[in-house]
C-alpha cells in the first residue's frame, strides 16, 4: 500500500536511528560476546495469533539500517490478514545483525499489528455509513509515526499528525480565547499573517455552539460528547456546509449508532492509546 505523506525518508530514518540508539547504545554486548562475527543464519517472523499485519515495511527498513547486507524475503505484507503459525517473512545474513535488530522489529510489528487489527475491526462496524474512522494525537511519545501508519494500514483515516499541520480549537482554546467566534477569527488572522493555509477545526459541546461555529465556517466542526439526538440535530443544522467529527467516549458498542447520525468522521483515541499488542516472535530456522 502507499505510504502516508508523513512517512518521509528523513522522518523514517530519524525514528529508526533514535530507536536503535536507545536500544543498542554503545553496543549489544550479549550478542557481540557470544556470537562469532562471521556466523550467518536465517530467522522467521512467526505469527502467534490472528491479526491484521502492520509494520512489515518498517521492519525491512530497520533491518536495512542495521545491516544493508541482510536479505528479507516477504511472505505476507502490510494489511494482510494472517493466522497463527504463519511466517510473515524470513531474514537472512549475519546473526549479530539479526539479533541487534530483533527487539526493535518486534516492538514495532507487535504494536502496529495490534493497532491495525483493532482499527480494521472497528471500521467494519460502520461500513455502509458515510462515516470514516479516525485516529487522534493520543499516541505514545516518539512512536506516533508508527502508530498512525498502523491506523492507515488497518483502514482508518489519520487526523492531523501533530500541532503544526492543522488547527484544532478545543474547549480550552475556545474558553481562553474569548469564545468560538473570536477564537476562529483570531486564528484566521494569525494564519494569514504567517502565510499558513491550514485547515481549521473547532470543538463544540452543544447546539448553541454548533450554531455559532457554523456562522464562522470552519473546515470541520467537532461534536464532542453529544447525545445521539443532539448529534442528529447538529448534522442537520450544519447541512454539509462544514465537515463533522464525532468525538468523546465512543466505543465499539456505540459507534454504529453514532455513524448513523450522518457525521463524516468518528475519532477514537483507543485505536492508539488502549491497544493490545499482537503476539509475534523471531525464531532462528537455520544456523
Active-site position among 103, 160, 188, 199:
103
CA 27, 29, 33, 34 dihedral sign is negative
Cβ-based burial of 39 (10 A; exposed 0-12, middle 13-18, buried ≥19): exposed
Decide if 224 is catalytic: yes
> By the 8 A CB rule, do 243 and 130 touch?
no
Decide if 201 is catalytic: yes
Active-site position among 78, 224, 245, 264:
224
Tell me the CA end-to-end span of the chain in Å, nearest whole number.
33
**Total residues found in the chain within this entry:** 287
Distance between CA atoms of residues 152 and 2, nearest Å: 10
Q: Helix or strand or coil: residue 51?
A: strand
Residue 172 vs residues 84, 177, 205, 221, 273: alpha-carbon distances, Å: 46, 8, 12, 15, 22
Residue 98 grid coordinates: 539479526
For domain 124-273, give the fold.
TIM Barrel (3.20.20)
Q: How do the pLDDT tens digits run along the chain, 287 residues long?
A: 678 999 999 999 999 999 999 999 999 999 999 999 999 999 999 999 999 999 999 999 999 999 999 999 999 999 999 999 999 999 999 999 999 999 999 999 999 999 999 999 999 999 999 999 999 999 999 999 999 999 999 999 999 999 999 999 999 999 999 999 999 999 999 999 999 999 999 999 999 999 999 999 999 999 999 999 999 999 999 999 999 999 999 999 999 999 999 999 999 999 999 999 999 999 998 65
Q: CATH top-level class for 9-121+276-286? A: alpha beta
Fold agreement (9-121+276-286, 124-273): no
Residue 111 grid coordinates: 504494536
The residues spanned by each domain of the chain are: 9-121+276-286, 124-273
Q: How many CB atoms sit inside 10 A of residue 24's CB?
A: 16
Residue 239 grid coordinates: 447541512
Active-site position among 3, 64, 160, 170:
170
DSSP state of 157: B
Decide if 80 is catalytic: no
Q: Helix or strand or coil: residue 55?
A: coil
Distance between CA atoms of residues 54 and 56, nearest Å: 6
Decide if 170 is catalytic: yes
Active-site position among 138, 188, 205, 243:
138
Active-site position among 57, 201, 209, 264:
201
Decide if 219 is catalytic: no
Q: What is the pTM of this model?
A: 0.95
Amino acid at each position: 500500500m502507499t505510504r502516508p505523506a508523513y512517512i518521509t525518508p528523513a522522518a523514517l530514518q530519524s525514528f529508526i536511528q533514535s530507536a536503535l540508539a536507545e536500544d543498542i547504545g554503545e553496543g549489544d554486548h550479549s550478542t557481540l560476546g557470544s556470537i562469532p562475527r562471521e556466523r550467518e543464519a536465517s530467522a522467521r517472523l512467526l505469527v502467534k495469533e490472528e491479526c491484521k499485519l502492520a509494520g512489515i515495511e518498517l521492519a525491512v527498513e530497520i533491518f536495512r539500517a542495521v545491516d544493508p547486507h541482510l536479505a528479507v524475503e516477504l511472505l505476507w505484507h502490510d494489511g494482510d490478514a494472517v493466522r497463527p503459525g504463519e511466517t510473515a517473512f524470513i531474514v537472512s545474513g549475519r546473526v549479530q545483525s539479526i539479533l541487534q535488530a530483533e527487539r526493535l522489529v518486534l516492538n514495532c510489528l507487535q504494536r502496529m499489528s495490534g493497532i491495525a487489527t483493532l482499527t480494521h475491526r472497528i471500521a467494519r462496524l460502520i461500513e455502509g455509513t458515510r462515516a470514516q474512522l479516525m485516529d487522534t494525537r493520543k499516541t505514545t511519545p516518539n512512536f506516533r509515526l508508527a502508530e498512525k501508519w498502523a491506523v492507515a494500514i488497518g483502514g482508518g483515516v489519520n487526523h492531523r499528525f501533530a500541532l503544526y499541520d492543522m488547527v484544532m480549537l478545543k474547549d480550552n482554546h475556545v474558553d481562553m480565547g474569548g469564545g468560538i467566534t473570536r477564537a476562529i477569527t483570531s486564528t484566521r488572522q494569525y494564519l494569514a499573517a504567517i502565510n499558513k493555509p491550514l485547515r481549521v477545526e473547532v470543538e463544540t459541546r452543544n447546539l448553541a455552539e454548533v450554531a455559532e461555529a457554523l456562522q464562522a465556517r470552519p473546515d470541520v466542526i467537532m461534536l464532542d460528547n453529544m447525545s445521539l439526538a443532539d448529534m442528529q440535530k447538529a448534522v442537520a443544522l450544519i447541512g454539509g456546509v462544514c465537515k463533522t467529527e464525532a468525538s468523546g467516549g465512543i466505543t465499539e458498542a456505540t459507534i454504529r449508532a453514532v455513524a448513523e447520525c450522518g457525521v463524516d468522521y468518528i475519532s477514537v483515541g483507543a485505536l492508539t492509546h488502549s491497544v493490545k499488542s499482537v503476539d509475534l516472535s523471531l525464531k532462528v530456522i537455520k544456523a
